[in-house]
Amino acid sequence: MDTDYLLPDDCTTMAEVRRGVDATDRELMALLDRRFGYMRAAARIKTDRTVVRDEARKAEVIANARSDAGKRGLPADKIEQMWELLVETSIGYELIEWDRIRA
């Protein structure tokens, strides 16, 4: 984990802010890598391709993100949009992986 940055409230220069943003982006990428790893696991575990898309689960994940954003004082509408794209991208990735595993 990159610790060569200050927390937001401790920043006093734009260079410090930018270092923190760049470090956070790297951390987000590592988290996305892990999340997509779970999509690979799901593709491996699910025996039926038709169950890859689960609209109830999709709605639950997006609602959870929206709720969490609201509790944190983040822009819930925009976070919801981001999660919609994240979940749809994850579903597409899982379908590709499902097909690749069984090719």
Residue among 102, 96, 77, 82 nearest 32 (CA): 82
Could you tell me how far CA 76 lies from the centroid of its own chain? 15
- 35 annotated as ligand-binding: yes
Return phi, psi of residue 42, to 5°. Answer: -60, -40
What token pair was written down for 41? Answer: 């696991």
- 78 annotated as ligand-binding: no
- 53 annotated as ligand-binding: no
- 94 annotated as ligand-binding: yes
Query: How far apart, in Å, are the Cα atoms of 88 and each of 10, 23, 82?
Result: 36, 26, 10
Show binding-site residues: 18, 35, 46, 94
Show binding-site residues for substrate: 18, 35, 46, 94
